[in-house]
């Protein structure tokens, strides 16, 4: 791993951590997944491996500062995976709508799979865990209290991802920095 790669990963992980901490200082409600949006941006601009590292470490470091637990492991692993996939699938995307849809579907997968895995770790069987995780995206279940928070978070995270990517591309960031 070269020094440019380390620098890019460090900057994106730091931004993911700081902005998640700032968001949590204002509200603990999940309306925007900042670490995942920044991992998608890094993956798109600099490659899947960078996105994987940003997704993974963005959750590890921010959770260590907020409140670590089993969810830290689950969220970190799944964030790294979906960020890696985003980098592979979005590299040739030109249209913003397609980029938005890819981000939205991967955010949806992230939310559904992390909730399912955590329900399983807390003792539910797989089928119940999947049902509770899916319903929990739209309605309050298992101690939740918000309605429609899943699609709202996926929408806002995907919009942020596309806006950041397009803004950085307009400033020729992708052309100016060559990673590996």
Query: What is the model's pLDDT at position 139?
Result: 83
Q: CA distances (Å), 10 to each of 6, 15, 131, 150, 169, in order?
A: 6, 9, 37, 29, 20
8 A C-beta contact, residue 135 and residue 108: no
State the SS3 of 86-134: HHHHHCCCCCHHHHHHHHHHHHHHHHHHHHHHHHHHCCCCHHHHHHHHH
Query: What is the model's pLDDT at position 110?
Result: 97
pTM to 2 decimal places: 0.92
pLDDT means over runs of 10, the chain (180 residues): 92 97 86 96 94 97 94 97 94 82 97 96 95 89 74 95 92 64
Query: What is the model's pLDDT at position 137?
Result: 86
CA distance 164 to 147: 27
Query: What is the model's pLDDT at position 124?
Result: 95
List, in order, residues 6 or more apart from 62 with CB less than 8 Å away: 16, 17, 20, 21, 35
What tokens were used for 123?
Answer: 């003792």
3-state secondary structure of 178: coil
Query: What is the model's pLDDT at position 29?
Result: 76
Query: What is the model's pLDDT at position 143?
Result: 65
Query: What is the model's pLDDT at position 179?
Result: 65
CA distance 158 to 160: 5
What tokens were used for 118?
Answer: 């955590």
């Amino acid at each position: 791993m070269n020094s440019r790669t380390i620098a890019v990963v460090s900057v994106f992980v730091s931004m993911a951590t700081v902005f998640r901490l700032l968001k949590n200082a204002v509200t603990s409600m999940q309306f925007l997944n900042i670490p995942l949006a920044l991992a998608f941006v890094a993956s798109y601009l600099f490659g899947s491996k960078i996105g994987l590292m940003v997704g993974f470490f963005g959750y590890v470091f921010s959770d260590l500062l907020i409140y670590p637990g089993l969810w830290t492991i689950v969220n970190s692993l799944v964030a790294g995976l979906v960020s890696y996939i985003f980098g592979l699938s979005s590299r040739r995307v030109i249209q913003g709508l397609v980029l938005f849809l890819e981000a939205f579907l991967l955010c949806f997968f992230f939310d559904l799979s992390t909730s399912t895995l955590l329900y399983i770790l807390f003792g539910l069987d797989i089928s119940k865990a999947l049902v509770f995780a899916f319903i929990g995206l739209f309605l309050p279940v298992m101690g939740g209290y918000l309605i429609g928070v899943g699609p709202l978070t996926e929408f806002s995270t995907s919009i942020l991802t596309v806006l950041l990517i397009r803004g950085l591309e307009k400033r020729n960031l992708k052309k100016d920095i060559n990673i590996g």
